[in-house]
């Protein structure tokens, strides 16, 4: 079924859902180390992050059979309005909705917001080397692999590489 994807700026009311997605170890082992292995994602951190000028957080909603429901989260963080770039990251929290092209669509909408609403010129991100699904999402959105940051991810007593990606928004 074709679903309509909508990005809504995240608000305090989204916290309980986002908390669950962030605390799921299958998700958060793929995040930055401070969010990895979270036992409890604290509301105060969420509210502080929402307030930061250099961050934009969106809840991904889908519309199916006339009903809207939140399924994931996508963010643009560390925005540098001087050099016009920022870092993207995302999680498709509701696992029943994975592999349906929805995050690829959500990222495409975010990229257009970055360019049109925020006036950014480029975006970047990193992915753990074996996160095939996330690498596919980036490739489908025209990101370029710009390098390997060797053994810069440490989990379960094992180092892995990060793969670095960027996209210039005119591309």
Ligand X SMILES: CC(C)(COP(=O)(O)OP(=O)(O)OC[C@H]1O[C@@H](n2cnc3c(N)ncnc32)[C@H](O)[C@@H]1OP(=O)(O)O)[C@@H](O)C(=O)NCCC(=O)NCCS
Residues of this chain that interact with ligand X (CB under 6 A) are 27, 30, 89-92, 98-104, 127, 131-134, 136-137
CB of 38 to ligand X, least distance (A): 13
Closest by CA position to 165, among listed 112, 88, 91: 88
Q: How far is the CB of 168 from ligand X (least distance, A)?
A: 20
Tell the smallest beta-carbon distance from residue 46 to ligand X (Å). Answer: 17
Nearer to ligand X, 30 or 110 (CB): 30
Q: What is the 3-state secondary structure (H, E, C) of 12-79?
A: HHHHHHHHHHHHCHHHHCCCCHHHCCCCCCCHHHHHHHHHCCCCEEEEEEEEECCEEEEEEEEEEEEE
If the CB atoms of residues 82 and 146 are measured against ligand X, the closer one turns out to be 146
CB of 86 to ligand X, least distance (A): 15
- For ligand X, the closer of residues 119 and 144 by Cβ is 144
Query: Which residues 6+ apart lie within 8 Å of 134 measured at CB?
Result: 30, 90, 127
Residue nearer to ligand X on the CB measure, 81 or 136: 136
């Amino acid at each position: 079924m074709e679903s309509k994807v909508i990005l809504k700026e995240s608000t305090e009311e989204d916290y309980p859902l986002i908390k669950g997605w962030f605390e799921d170890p299958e998700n958060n082992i793929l995040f930055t180390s401070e969010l990895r292995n979270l036992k409890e994602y604290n509301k105060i951190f969420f509210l502080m992050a929402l307030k930061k000028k250099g961050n934009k957080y969106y809840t991904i909603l889908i519309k199916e059979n006339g009903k809207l429901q939140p399924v994931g989260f996508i963010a643009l963080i560390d925005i540098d309005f001087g050099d016009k770039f920022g870092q993207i990251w995302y999680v498709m929290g509701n696992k029943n909705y994975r592999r349906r092209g929805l995050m690829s669509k959500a990222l495409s909408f975010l990229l257009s917001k970055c360019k049109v609403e925020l006036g950014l010129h480029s975006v970047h991100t990193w992915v753990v080397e074996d996160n095939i699904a996330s690498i596919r999402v980036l490739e489908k959105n025209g990101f370029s692999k710009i390098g390997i940051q060797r053994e810069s991810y440490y989990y379960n007593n094992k180092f892995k590489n990060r793969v670095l990606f960027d996209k210039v928004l005119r591309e």
